[in-house]
Structure 1
Amino acid sequence: MTERHDDPALMTGSHALDALSDDERALLEDALRTSPELQAENDSLRETALQLAYAVAPIEPPASLKASLLAQIATTPQAAPLADTTVDQTPVAETTSVQEARPEPARHVASIADGPTAGGRASSEARRRWFQRPAVTLTAAAAVAAVFFGGLGVGSIFDPNGSGTGTTQASSGLDRIYAASDFQRTTTKVAGGGSATVVWSNDLGKSAVILDGVEQAPKGKTYELWYIGSEEQGGTIKSAGLVDGAADGVHSAVLQGSMSEGATIGMTVEPEGGSEQPTTSPIMAVPTTTA
């Protein structure tokens, strides 16, 4: 029997960082369609990766950075490709019957330490992918973020147009907002504890809220988001959706509908299922006036 070389359960971390090959991505997406648990894990990792990427304010890199990098690329010699290494196929001497009867865990540890064998090559490859690729990708993403957060485009790290299964609405919506040329953000405290970071783009007419440390809504209640029009717009209040899943951690929600320029984004505690108009005072309100 042939051992499976790729386990979709080990691919969700790499998928969150866009670090899968086309074949690996297709394999994972097939598995996501039939496994709600794997889909939930994949969505959670994807959203967490985005929130980590957007956890700090954008910085403007020095104008000389791009020229310096290109100059180094032009003068740095390319390393020669590594020579292929071969595994010594010298037959291993047969062991005695007593050695063959040693406990299974010891035999398993020995096979890992001694190098790949005919039966362990697939699992060894999977382990390398799990430990090495995310680490390398995170390092690269951190370096790229330092450059691209300054205005060259967050979409280079996370594809905002990715159509793969498992990309949450909040994740893709955040991508588009952060990649917008007129992107703005502000952070405020939430009554009752925690904070809310509001990001928006007037060009897109979209906004999102990232809650950090906000407790779950009381039983029978829910958090509801609102667009509150400016005085020039008559102060019209429109529901922008419910916040589900906030539980004293980090949670993001892209507001529904279109945001008018200068609107205030608010959040209230409402009866489960939401309300047509606010029934309580806002626990968070952020004007989106241009800074």
Structure 2
Amino acid sequence: MTAADLHTLAGAYAVWALDEDERRAFEAHLDQCESCRTEVGEFQATAARLAQATAETPPPAMKQQVLRRAALVRHDPPEVQLPAPRSHRAAPVRRAQAFILAASVAAAAALGGVAVWQYQDAHDAHQQAVQAEAHAQQIAAVLAAPDARTVSGTVNDTTRAVVVESRSQNRAVFLTPGLPALPADKVYQLWYDDAGTMRPAGLVPPGTANQTVLLTGALGPARGMGITVEPAGGSPRPTSAPIALMAFPTT
């Protein structure tokens, strides 16, 4: 593959459409080519905006209909095999009647418990759906903002990443095709860089490729962002040197 060929791969690399050999060759080329680094960052930001612009939110009526039906579904009560009553002996009949009554009470209690569980489960699902929709809308607002600006960088010299920041939205979004896996007791943490002071900005969910992460908190005075490896759950301040630092555009 010639250098001229490598220059044509920026768009495919930005949307993670290269095979492993092409990706390695192009990433080695990126270390030496400023124009390709800029082009990749622009392609990735554009792809993210197009993805958000074409996303469709399900109609509210559909969501309510699904949740309502989930709450109304009833489970069949357990089948109880009862001994056949013998009419010529009163004591077994009374015992059978008492057993039936007890089984009926137990079944009613079980069904009541199932109804409560189903209602709570549907309520939780609804809350999660509302939160996820609000989160997606915040990301879309940053990516589509007229003043959105993009900066790209490399994490651990191996993985490309992009940050889109908007002063009008006062937020920033981090995009990556997937960071290298960490041990179970470690996590990638994002930080706002306030003139050298690192401010916590959220964690990168582990084990997921093609991630789009809305940084936690307001952009404020931040002039860049950083990434560190921290103990699981994150840290109030960095415990290790940043594995990536990306300065926001100044103009």
Larger radius of gyration: 2
More helix by share: 2
